[in-house]
Chains A and B, each alone.
Chain A
Amino acid sequence: MTDHSFLTVISPIEHRRNDPDGREATIRKTLLAHEQDDSPFADCPMVHMARIQILDQAVPPMGDTSGAALKTKYLLFAIDIDGRVDDFLDSLYRRDADFVHNVWGQCIGYPDFRGAVFFRRYIDACSFSNPLGYAGFDLSVGDTLLMLTRKNVLADFVSAHQGKSDKELQAAWRKSRADLATPNLPKPESF
């Protein structure tokens, strides 16, 4: 049973008109490239679910004609992980520092230096804490994948051995029990 962390980060991207340094463009391109394939999160074993969104504009209440608006575009990063935030940030930076620099590195105030420590500090400066969080279950990613794999392995075994004799059953079980006890786990994002 694990402690889940709910990390919520809002970082400023750009306040000047027309994205002169192409920061927003770089972020969008990077997100698009890693959306369906090659997600750096797949190699961070503590990540359950993650989302990144560019907040182009804040939506004022319906009927508000005062012209209330934000002056800066922001990046929203919300992630559900096992364990500590710093461990995750290190893991992500280690896996794909370029991704980090092409996303958060494009945000206002990100230091010019490379290194996980700067990433951690930046995220810390942009994090918001104390959410009301809900988790449907308290398993880690690894345990979740293990149990799901076992479910399919067992279903296959039961189906394949319907109607067999007791002798055949026991022999098959002896052979297959290792597959169930320690199955090959699918890589995150592939199950």
Chain B
Amino acid sequence: MSSTTINTKDIQGIFKGFGLAWPKGRFFFLNYKSDKAGRALLKHLCPLTSFHDLKTVKPDVCVNAAFTCAGLEALALDNDLLYSLPEDFRDGMRRRASINGDAGDSAPEHWEDIWEGHQVHLWVGVYARTDAQLKDWDKAFTTWVSKTKGISIVGSQDVSRLVSSPDVPVYLEDKDSQPQKPVLLEHFGFRDGIGNPPIKGLNDKHITGGGRINAKGEWEDFPAGEFLLGHVDTNGEIPVAPKPDGFSRNGSFMVLRKLEQNVDLWRDYMKGQAKKLDADADDIASRMVGRRRDGTPLMPAHDDFDFKYSSDPEGRVCPLGSHMRRTNPRDSFGADFGSLLVDRHRILRRAITYGELVPTGKTQAEVNGEEGQGLMFIVLNASISRQFEFVQQQWVNYGNEFDQGNDRDPIIGTQCGHDQMVIPGDNAAGRETMVCDALQQFVVCKGGDYFFLPSISAFEALASDAQGWRR
């Protein structure tokens, strides 16, 4: 299947990403008591916003949707279809907590109530240009749901984009580390949303810096099959996908995780380490993350995207254990190999923040109270176990590939209080080693699940009252 024939009218808009043009959003988590009610809901949501729509008509309000395994089962679909769903998706994220390191504060018993008992059937992501438009859509939708039998909203989550601004300081102690130009931010005050893989025929931006590195050191984009079902992947095969073809083609598997960020804890910890190490807190932070706050890489680079790691095999410039380097090692495993050992484990991130930015000097309680701050982390991939779970299990919660022994990702890894991150020193550059000890759990998973994000046509087929794929 040639990439030039990818039908962007059939792919949900989240593949392109809604970005700053649709900065306000709300996620709905729905349950339907019967397959009839489910189909009524799906019909009401049609037509979903497609990739093509985002490039052409650019609607004010965009709507995308995805199903949990329970959601597909509740539609009374054919057994052949249900049995062809992959195990990771069928298990669901809760059951696979031990693979993802969801333990301690992130353990499922501490997750938000909506994630209990397989009640979430459908995720509906609504992204709007303005608060007013979002409110209107919300009112119309919730009214409709309340009037329709068998459908209920079990939970919702407001989300919004954060953009850095000189009026909202997010640095720890060094004013100069504040991003100078407006960039998309996450709550620890770092630029986010960059470094995604370029997909041939879909998102061709940043092939240099975002893509694969072949054995000759050249940048290449990704074949769609790594992220979009029904297409050829980097092994030159069409990966196994649910049957029938029409159900999975142009769809994807989506991981959704509500990641609560404890900004106060993070700031206190960083300042404590800076004091202990007699160093700059913001500098330590950027070495833990692997980029500076405004997105500038630690490695010498042509721009924020175009850099490689193989010239730094000991991690003295960018620590091998830093968050960025762990989640996309590029050519860290050796220039000879390029990114061959990484390509099968890339993820397409479509996350969006929730909660207000906490300016330096304020606490979380003062800003947002109970609601908190964090990230609705969303990943799109063709195989949850090979891509998302692999990164989470082998690269985030383990350090072997990076010569870090058992040490985990300092930002998102599951810490038990005795964990460390070593930031190597460099005698030649006159920089001292910094060992950050007693790492805390700065990011806690409050729930989530694995979803199937169908194509536009598959969604319409599921909504249809024709016999189609039903038992």
A residues contacting B by CB (< 8 A) are 151, 155, 158-159, 162-163
Contacts and interface: CB of A to CB of B under 8 A. Distances in A.
B278 to A, nearest CB: 6
A162 B420 contact: no
17 contacts: A151-B405, A155-B420, A155-B422, A155-B435, A158-B433, A158-B435, A159-B420, A159-B435, A159-B437, A162-B276, A162-B277, A162-B434, A162-B435, A162-B437, A163-B276, A163-B277, A163-B278
Contacts of A159: 420, 435, 437
Contacts of B277: 162-163
Nearest to B432: A162
A179 to B, nearest CB: 18
A46 B405 CA distance: 24
Nearest to B276: A163
| Best-buried of A151, A155, A163 by chain B (most CB within 10 Å) | A163
A162 B438 CA distance: 13
Nearest to A151: B405
Interface string B275-291: 01110000000000000
Interface in B423-450: 433-435, 437
Contacts of B422: 155
Interface string B332-369: 00000000000000000000000000000000000000
Contacts of B405: 151
B190 to A, nearest CB: 24
A73 B195 CA distance: 55
Nearest to B422: A155
A151 B407 CA distance: 13
Contacts of A158: 433, 435
A93 to B, nearest CB: 36
Nearest to A152: B405
Interface of B: 276-278, 405, 420, 422, 433-435, 437
Nearest to B434: A162
Contacts of B276: 162-163
A151 B433 CA distance: 16
Nearest to A160: B437
Given A155-B420, A162-B277, 15 more contacts: A151-B405, A155-B422, A155-B435, A158-B433, A158-B435, A159-B420, A159-B435, A159-B437, A162-B276, A162-B434, A162-B435, A162-B437, A163-B276, A163-B277, A163-B278
Nearest to B407: A155
Contacts of B433: 158
Nearest to B438: A159
A19 B437 CA distance: 58
| Best-buried of B422, B434, B435 by chain A (most CB within 10 Å) | B435
Contacts of A162: 276-277, 434-435, 437
A159 B405 CA distance: 15
B402 to A, nearest CB: 15
Contacts of A155: 420, 422, 435
A59 B327 CA distance: 41
Nearest to B273: A162
A150 to B, nearest CB: 13
B408 to A, nearest CB: 15
B434 to A, nearest CB: 7
A159 B420 CA distance: 8
A163 B435 CA distance: 10
A159 to B, nearest CB: 5
Nearest to A161: B435
A48 to B, nearest CB: 18
Contacts of A163: 276-278
A137 to B, nearest CB: 14
B28 to A, nearest CB: 46
Nearest to B433: A158
A69 B435 CA distance: 59
B470 to A, nearest CB: 38
A158 B420 CA distance: 11
| Best-buried of A151, A159, A162 by chain B (most CB within 10 Å) | A162
A178 B434 CA distance: 24
Nearest to B279: A163
A155 B434 CA distance: 12
B322 to A, nearest CB: 18
A113 B422 CA distance: 57
Contacts of B437: 159, 162
Contacts of B435: 155, 158-159, 162
B439 to A, nearest CB: 11
A47 to B, nearest CB: 23
A151 B422 CA distance: 13
A41 B259 CA distance: 45
Nearest to B420: A159
A124 B319 CA distance: 51
A166 to B, nearest CB: 13
A159 B423 CA distance: 11
Contacts of A151: 405
A173 to B, nearest CB: 16
Which 4 residue pairs across A and B have the least CB separation, nearest first? A159-B435, A163-B276, A159-B437, A162-B435
Nearest to A163: B276
A155 B422 CA distance: 9
A151 B406 CA distance: 13
A155 B405 CA distance: 11
A96 B1 CA distance: 62
A151 B278 CA distance: 25
